[in-house]
Chains A and B, each alone.
Chain A
Amino acid sequence: MEFALSEDQIMLQDSVRNALTDLVDVASLRDCVDNQRSRHESAWQTMVQLGIPALLVPEQYGGIGLSMLEAALVAEEMGRACAPSPYLGSCILSTLALMHTGSAAQKQQWLSMMAAGNGTVGFAFTELVSGYRVTQPVHQQNGTLNGTTLFVLDGREADAYIVACDQQLWLVEANASGLTFTPQHTIDGSRPTLELNFNNTPAQCLPDANRTSIEQLLNAAWIIQAADSLGAAWKMIDDAVAYAQVRRQFGRLIGSFQAVKHLCAEMAADIEPGRSLVWYAAHAFDNAPDEVTLYACHAKALLSDAGHIVARKSIEVHGGIGITDDLGLHYWAKRIGQNRMLLGSPHDAHQRAMQHQT
């Protein structure tokens, strides 16, 4: 029994952290958000060099073949850096979808390309699958798609999209006929989403997909969102603690006031058990199939709620400066906010956990 990270896992996490800390600062983050860039180009290139798009891809397609736990550790660092970069959609969901349900030819074509960093594949949980939206659902008939889907992940410069609908997964190339996309403007400018419209758009079926594989993709999404919030929340705690040790009022460092110390302690106490939960959920994803849904639901719910509390309290510790655009703390708060509601709220996650047990 050993519930801890291996040396290799710690090294991986450290290398992603160091690389992103050097590259993504508030100024470059602001540049991405204000100019609606699809990604922070040098951060993405560094991710490619570190092999992040290849992380989950099996070795036969040029990947590294690591597990969801490593993917969650990387997600934590993406959240900590608020990295404007593809990850959840392309490196996790589309990659897993192709790995587990794609044909040999699809895997060869797309996984090899993605692992090498030569292209990305966006991912869409369509409305009926997500269950949380009200737009016209996407339907498939005779290999063509019709309808609209919102909140497509990593879609802006994607070479293709994987679309989850009708309990199946479909691959649509970006230049397919009848496909149009509209950028969406959400609170989290670091990871822009988009709206896809299908008008008799030709799509390839991923032959091995079924209801269970789509459920498993939702589990993956929730674990990665939870890990991202964990990292973003700890960044906000560290910032609050650092600020409380330099800001003086009433002739004292504000960090010496118990009211401020207790806010910081509450943030740490609320979020840190969540790290253990994320590790377990990610480990279960590959090793304990009968436990993963329950743990993914609770990871999404707990880290979303605890993250939300941390975002609010960290801003409070900063006082008025905390809500300014200049400071930039809001980018992390918004990232946590997006992780919390996108693809299901904490309440939805709890409902799913409840149904799963009855």
Chain B
Amino acid sequence: MDLTLSPNHIAFRQAIREFIALYGDRAEGVIPGQRPGPKQIAWQALLLEHGYAGRFVPLEYGGYGAPYDIMEQRLIVEEFSRAAIPAGIGNQGISMLVPTLLELGTEQQKRDYIAPTLRGEMVWCQGYSEPNAGSDLAALQTRGVEDGENFIVNGQKIWTSTAHEADMIFCLVRTEPHAPKHEGISYLLFSMDDPGIDIRPLKTMSGRAEFNEVFFTDVRVPRIQMLGERGDGWRVANATLQHERAYLANSALLSQRYAELSQLIKENQRNGQAITTSQALQERLMQLQSRLLALKCHDLRLLTHSMKGTDPGIAGLITKLYGTETRYQVDVLALDAQGELGLLNQSDPRVRDGGVWFEREAMDLGLIIGGGTAQIQKNIIAERGLGMPREPKPVNKEG
């Protein structure tokens, strides 16, 4: 047990702090679901130049080219979170596709896609889920039929965030209809400007359309735009999903949310009394702090496993379930602490924090479902973590 940083890491952390002090006022966060604008792209360029974005991506693909060091990555996240400064563009292209391209892409694909994606100029959306393929993702039915040098893609995707703003899509399609379901999928990269793509916004309970439905009618995708081997798309997608889970389990963000909640409880009054005098609210706040501190310690434990390359076992399988639940409970308590005022929406002048807590509650409920539902997580914990029997194969009564 040694919680001290090495001298190199202390120096690195100091450099981040100096960078933030010097340039932090230029920081521009990306509004979820929107394209980065000129200010965000300029901020991203500054981060890339100093190695706080794309740090471990090789120079020839537009990164900073530093040797991989997970502790450095963590320090970047921690220091930017602590300063409440947006750490550049963190969209699905950068956090999920770029690592997958680096692992499995062709030289041409890496050269074509990584640099503009890192710069924020090329925006991606993820074409995975379908109306009939949610938790059972491998049951997806969007077809890719070979036609000379192209695949002709037909079908429908759903839960496609930023589709209306995206330049490109990374998309799972069934190219081998007679193969077993996990072996018939390929991973295609194509332009959202291609003819035959129709995008319809999907409005959620937050009142906004964070997601879309995307329809493909005879979209032609050149074979060379396949990532990984034909029929190997499931494995490629799993590589991407691992990057997604790492991206979702981030206790630095949770700490920031908790600090906002704690501040809200300190500042707000009800019936002329500070709401901190409510023992019930205090108790709930402390219950959340218990979970938050446990998660922070748990992160250190998982970080150590990553650094050593050892398998964390069940400790690694529980974070998505525990982390997303905690995050949702923070939102719920923030709303409860406001009492009736928590009911107001953004357009009411009395709304607290611009109505952000209700939006967060809706989004964070979505996170409990997205990226593998809580129930799927429990199956994984029970089967892989505790060695319990796998789900019996369903009997197809119609066939």
Pair B1/A255 contact, Cβ less than 8 Å? no
A310 to chain B, nearest CB (A): 13
| A244 contacts B by Cβ under 8 Å | yes
| A276 contacts B by Cβ under 8 Å | yes
Query: Beta-carbon contacts of A273-307 to B below 8 Å, as 1s and 0s?
Result: 11111011001000110000011001001100100
Q: Which of B44-52, B138-146, B230-238, B286-294 contacts A (4 or more CB under 8 A)?
A: B286-294
Pair A353/B289 contact, Cβ less than 8 Å? yes
Pair A354/B1 contact, Cβ less than 8 Å? no
Query: Beta-carbon contacts of A24-42 to B below 8 Å, as 1s and 0s?
Result: 0000000000000000000
Q: Which of A2-10, A80-88, A117-125 contacts B (4 or more CB under 8 A)?
A: A2-10
Pair A273/B314 contact, Cβ less than 8 Å? no
Pair B298/A269 contact, Cβ less than 8 Å? no
Q: How far is the CA of A261 from the CA of B303 in the complex (A)?
A: 28
Q: Which of B4-12, B100-108, B344-352 contacts A (4 or more CB under 8 A)?
A: B4-12
Q: How far is the CA of A265 from the CA of B71 in the complex (A)?
A: 30
Q: Which of B175-183, B188-196, B378-386 contacts A (4 or more CB under 8 A)?
A: B378-386
Chain A CB within 10 A, most for which of B289, B390, B392: B289
Q: How far is the CA of A280 from the CA of B392 in the complex (A)?
A: 40
Q: Which of B27-35, B213-221, B315-323, B335-343 contacts A (4 or more CB under 8 A)?
A: B315-323
| B311 contacts A by Cβ under 8 Å | no
Chain B CB within 10 A, most for which of A4, A6, A288: A4
Pair A347/B283 contact, Cβ less than 8 Å? yes
Pair B1/A3 contact, Cβ less than 8 Å? yes
**Known: A283-B1, A350-B283. Contact between A269 and B388, CB under 8 A?**
no
| A133 contacts B by Cβ under 8 Å | no
Pair B294/A298 contact, Cβ less than 8 Å? yes
B14 to chain A, nearest CB (A): 16
Pair A261/B1 contact, Cβ less than 8 Å? no
Pair B389/A2 contact, Cβ less than 8 Å? no
The one of B1, B297, B375 that contacts A2, using a Cβ cutoff of 8 Å: B1
The one of B282, B286, B300, B378 that contacts A265, using a Cβ cutoff of 8 Å: B378
B314: A residues at CB distance < 8 A: 268, 272
**Known: A273-B295, A276-B294. Contact between A298 and B289, CB under 8 A?**
yes
Main secondary structure of the interface of B (DSSP, over half): helix
A5: B residues at CB distance < 8 A: 1
| A136 contacts B by Cβ under 8 Å | no
Main secondary structure of the interface of A (DSSP, over half): helix
Q: How far is the CA of A245 from the CA of B385 in the complex (A)?
A: 14
| A159 contacts B by Cβ under 8 Å | no
A234 to chain B, nearest CB (A): 10
Chain B CB within 10 A, most for which of A3, A241, A301: A3
Pair A269/B386 contact, Cβ less than 8 Å? no
B385: A residues at CB distance < 8 A: 265, 268
Q: Looking across the interface, which residue of chain A has its beta carbon closest to that of B379?
A: A261
**Known: A272-B315, A273-B298, A287-B3. Contact between A302 and B291, CB under 8 A?**
yes
| B304 contacts A by Cβ under 8 Å | yes
| A100 contacts B by Cβ under 8 Å | no
| B207 contacts A by Cβ under 8 Å | no
Q: How far is the CA of A206 from the CA of B67 in the complex (A)?
A: 56
**Known: A6-B1, A302-B291, A353-B286. Contact between A268 and B303, CB under 8 A?**
no
| A256 contacts B by Cβ under 8 Å | yes
Q: How far is the CA of A276 from the CA of B9 in the complex (A)?
A: 23
| A264 contacts B by Cβ under 8 Å | yes
Q: Looking across the interface, which residue of chain A has its beta carbon closest to that of B286?
A: A350
| B301 contacts A by Cβ under 8 Å | yes
Size category of the B interface is 35 or more
Q: How far is the CA of A53 from the CA of B168 in the complex (A)?
A: 65
Q: Looking across the interface, which residue of chain B has its beta carbon closest to that of A67?
A: B1
Query: Beta-carbon contacts of A43-68 to B below 8 Å, as 1s and 0s?
Result: 00000000000000000000000000
**Known: A1-B5, A3-B1, A350-B282. Contact between A258 and B304, CB under 8 A?**
no
Pair A268/B295 contact, Cβ less than 8 Å? no
The one of A3, A241, A302 that contacts B294, using a Cβ cutoff of 8 Å: A302
B378: A residues at CB distance < 8 A: 261-262, 265-266, 269
The one of B303, B377, B388 that contacts A241, using a Cβ cutoff of 8 Å: B388
| A71 contacts B by Cβ under 8 Å | no
| B353 contacts A by Cβ under 8 Å | no
Q: How far is the CA of A297 from the CA of B283 in the complex (A)?
A: 13
A272: B residues at CB distance < 8 A: 298, 314-315, 318
| B309 contacts A by Cβ under 8 Å | no
| A253 contacts B by Cβ under 8 Å | yes
Q: Looking across the interface, which residue of chain A has its beta carbon closest to that of B305?
A: A4
B318: A residues at CB distance < 8 A: 268-269, 272-273
A239 to chain B, nearest CB (A): 12
Q: How far is the CA of A252 from the CA of B298 in the complex (A)?
A: 36
A6: B residues at CB distance < 8 A: 1
Pull 26 A–B residue pairs with CB atoms less than 8 Å apart, ordered by A.
A1-B4, A1-B307, A2-B307, A3-B301, A3-B303, A4-B305, A6-B1, A237-B386, A241-B386, A262-B378, A264-B381, A265-B379, A265-B381, A265-B386, A269-B318, A269-B378, A272-B298, A272-B314, A276-B301, A277-B294, A279-B297, A279-B301, A287-B3, A301-B286, A347-B283, A350-B282
Q: Which 7 A-B pairs have the closest CB atoms?
A: A350-B286, A276-B297, A261-B382, A265-B378, A3-B300, A265-B381, A273-B294
Known: A1-B6, A3-B301, A256-B390. 18 other contacts (CB 8 A): A3-B3, A4-B308, A241-B386, A241-B388, A244-B388, A256-B391, A262-B378, A264-B382, A265-B385, A269-B377, A272-B315, A273-B295, A276-B294, A279-B301, A280-B297, A302-B291, A350-B290, A353-B286
